[in-house]
């Protein structure tokens, strides 16, 4: 499942939290892109090494067979390392996105990633998606349940309703007003309270 604002809002996550999650996810993705670029650069060296091996092989033996075999082993080992790193990066990226979609973010996300190293190694990928997330589902509902952030929306307190001062209340635009830096002037709790007090749905 792609980590989008629409998906996060559909889960009932507060708009401020959505911004935080998207920002953290973007930072993670940029870091992974840098890793992938490095691995790609390494992978582009492989054809050159293969050409050297082929040239040595074509030149005949003359004591070069042993050197050829050594270079072939080195090439195969290097190629295996690059492939393994790329696969690990892809798995970690997918698992991070999965945990973020479940509400595990920030330091809690780092803890979850460290605590699920075995599960990450064991998962199988279908392109850039996880084939079977049941092992991760079990972690989220079990061991990692305390890492999931919950957004609680409280309804109006009918036993102690807000007082009506008779004055002019706040408009929706005033409640959601942002400062020059694009941040809400009121906190999430203050906005929720103002919406209830002014009976804005």
Express each pLDDT in 48-67 by its tens digit: 888 888 777 776 666 677 88
Q: How far are the Cα atoms of 154, 155, 193 from residue 158, in angstroms, in the given order?
A: 11, 9, 14
Does residue 182 share a domain with residue 136? no
Domain boundary among 147, 172, 188: 147
Does residue 143 share a domain with residue 127? yes
Domain boundary among 101, 129, 147: 147
Residues 6+ apart with CB under 8 A from 80: none
pTM: 0.42
What letters, b where the CB count within 10 A reaches 16 and e where it falls short, cover 1-28?
Answer: eebeeeebeeeebbeebbeebeeebeeb
Tell me: pLDDT of 173 over 50. yes
Does residue 17 share a domain with residue 57? yes
Identify the helix (H) or strand (E) that includes residue 41.
helix 15-44
What's residue 159's pLDDT?
A: 57
Higher pLDDT: 124 or 42? It is 124
Give pLDDT tens digits for 118-163: 888 888 888 888 888 888 988 888 888 888 886 555 555 555 555 5
**Number of structural domains found in the chain:** 2
Does residue 139 share a domain with residue 167? no
Tell me: pLDDT of 166 over 50. no
Instruction: Dig out the tokens for 114 from the structure.
Output: 């460290």
Does residue 95 share a domain with residue 81? yes
39, 82 Cβ separation under 8 angstroms: yes
Does residue 137 share a domain with residue 63? yes
How sure is the predictor about 194, in pLDDT bands with cuts at 50, 70 and 90?
confident
Does residue 166 share a domain with residue 141? no
Does residue 89 share a domain with residue 14? yes
Does residue 184 share a domain with residue 124? no
Does residue 189 share a domain with residue 110? no
CA-closest candidate to residue 8, choices 100, 146, 139, 108: 100
What's residue 156's pLDDT?
A: 54
Q: What is the mean pLDDT of residues 31-48?
A: 82
Structural domain boundaries, residue 191: 153-201
Does residue 192 share a domain with residue 128? no
Q: What is the mean pLDDT of residues 170-174?
A: 84
Does residue 130 share a domain with residue 91? yes
Domain boundary among 130, 147, 164: 147
Question: DSSP labels for 48-74?
Answer: HHHHHHHHHHHT--TTHHHHHHHHHHH
């Amino acid at each position: 499942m792609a980590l989008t604002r629409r998906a996060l809002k559909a889960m009932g996550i507060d708009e401020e939290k959505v911004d935080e999650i998207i920002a953290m996810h973007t930072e993670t993705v940029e870091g992974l892109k840098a890793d992938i670029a490095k691995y790609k650069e390494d992978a582009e060296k492989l054809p050159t090494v293969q050409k050297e091996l082929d040239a040595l092989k074509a030149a005949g033996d003359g004591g070069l067979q042993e050197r050829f075999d050594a270079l072939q082993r080195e090439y195969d080992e290097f190629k295996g390392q690059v492939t393994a790193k790329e696969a690990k990066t892809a798995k970690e990226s997918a698992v991070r996105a999965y945990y973020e979609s479940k509400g595990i973010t920030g330091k809690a996300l780092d803890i979850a990633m460290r605590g699920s190293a075995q599960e990450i190694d064991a998962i199988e990928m279908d392109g850039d998606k996880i084939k079977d997330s049941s092992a991760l589902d079990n972690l989220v509902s079990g061991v990692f349940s305390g890492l999931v952030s919950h957004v609680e929306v409280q309804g109006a307190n009918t036993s102690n309703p807000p007082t009506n001062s008779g004055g002019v209340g706040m408009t929706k635009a005033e409640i959601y007003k942002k400062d020059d830096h694009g941040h809400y002037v009121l906190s999430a709790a203050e906005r929720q309270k103002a919406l209830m007090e002014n009976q804005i749905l």
